[in-house]
Amino acid sequence: MGQSSCSASSGANGSVGARGLLFVLIAVVAGGCSKPQGPPPRGPSHVTVITTSAHDTPVFLEFVAQTQSSRQVNIQARVNGFLDKRVYTEGSMVKEGQVLFLMDKTPFQAQLDGAKAALQRQQAAMKVAQQNLDRTKPLVQLNALSQKDLDDATGQFEQAAAAVEQSKAQVESAQLNLSYATITTPVSGISSYAQEADGTYLSPSNSQLTTVAVLSPMWVNFSISENVVQTMRDNVEKGLLKPAPEGQYEVEIVLVDGTIFSERGHITFTQPEYNSNTGTFLVRASFANSKELLRPNQYVRARVHGAIRPKAILVPQRAIQQGAKGSFVWIVDKENKVQERPVTVGPWHGDEWFITEGVQTGEQVVVDGALALGAGAQVQTAPYTSKPATSELPAPPAQSTKAAAPPAR
């Protein structure tokens, strides 16, 4: 049946079938020989650019810091005796002169009464000696008594007068001991817990009762490494950094939640020598802490402000690319073509990066769209718009420690 079917096709309609087959073969050959169509020509890449400019830029240095009370006083018993009771609320704010503890006053009152009685006895003895001396002097002048009698009377009076002074000192000492039984705070601040329970016998071995920490002013301590100080000095010598005038650096605090403390402090002390174990030296800043929000031993981040990078060029961080030979940026020329430019970068500054070498003022640097570029690529540019800064700033990376540092003093 297959053969008869072929015969029928090549029969009466043979000429039509041949022409149809010819057209099909021509179409197949034409389709097979035609060249494949490639993708349409690619247009210029769309990129955002920033036009660089040089200007003096304030910079800061950030450190891990810890708060410290400017005056933390140990409240201690100054006499031996039984602790009667605690009369303050642990952890509360206390005022200067406020009573914190009371000791049993009975033995101290007894000592005071005995000292006063001894003083009265000595005063009476001195009065008798004074009267005896007064009677002896005229009798000696009349030669009724000898000079030795006058000397003896004088000596007895002076001994009695000295005994009176000694008794007065004992009375004063007893009065002090009695006053020490009422334990007060010499400063205003935040109180700690009571370290001894009521009824405890207090002696030199357990005399400390609590502590009171002054909250205003508050100190903030941090350490600066020798490497950071040397980097700062090198930057100053190269003209990349201008230190604060007369070393007047301001210190800003970043709290644990990333918010900025409302007050700024100033550096009031720098350790004159390095720590032999850590290679750092201590720096202390003082804060008014008027609202008493800072508490002792609180971890914060301290930002030291005051240094300036003169005529600095900044570009957004994502404009910096990394290649086999290091950091580079894409520069857009006058023909809207990009060229790869090696650069030397400095520390971070917020969301930007300092460029120390490789970029000149007025050049256009590609910020967005750089990943798809190649040397000589044609681009279509649009101005880069930076995002508004947020109130919570991220902690800068380790490179930012090269921005500025207060000089060692």
**Calpha distance 201→211 (Å, rounded):** 19
Burial of 122 (0-12, 13-18, 19+ CB in 10 A): buried
Digit-coded pLDDT (tens) for 115-128: 999 999 999 999 99
Burial pattern 219-230, b for ≥16 Cβ within 10 A else e, equals bbbbbbbeebbe
pLDDT at 5: 40
- pLDDT, the chain, mean: 85
Q: Which residues contact 352 (CB under 8 A, 6 or more apart)?
A: 314, 315, 316, 317
Asked if pLDDT for residue 80 goes beyond 90, the answer is: yes
Check: CB of residue 63 under 8 Å from CB of residue 304: yes
* Residue 211 pLDDT class (50, 70, 90 cuts): very high
Rounded CA separation 339/329 (Å): 8
Kind of pairing, strands 250-254 and 93-94? unpaired
280-287 and 218-225 as β-strands: parallel, antiparallel, unpaired?
Answer: antiparallel
Taking only the tens place, the pLDDT of each residue in 26-77 is 444 444 444 555 555 566 888 899 999 999 999 899 999 999 999 999 999 9
DSSP secondary structure string for all residues of 303-315: EEEEEEEEEEEEE
Q: Which residues of 139-175 are buried (b: 16+ CB within 10 A; e: fewer)?
A: ebeeeebeeeebeebeebbeebbebbeebbebbeebe
Between 380 and 192, the higher pLDDT residue: 192
408 forms beta bridges with: none
**Can you name the residues that pair with 49 across neighbouring β-strands?**
366, 383
Domains identified in the chain and CATH numbers: 51-68+217-402 (2.40.30.170), 71-103+183-213 (2.40.50.100), 105-180 (1.10.287.470)
Nearest to 162 by CA among 192, 134, 186, 129: 129
Question: At CB < 8 A and 24+ separation, what contacts does 233-236 make?
Answer: 233/407, 235/402
Q: pLDDT tens digits, residue range 256-308?
A: 999 999 999 999 999 999 998 999 999 999 999 999 999 999 999 999 999 99
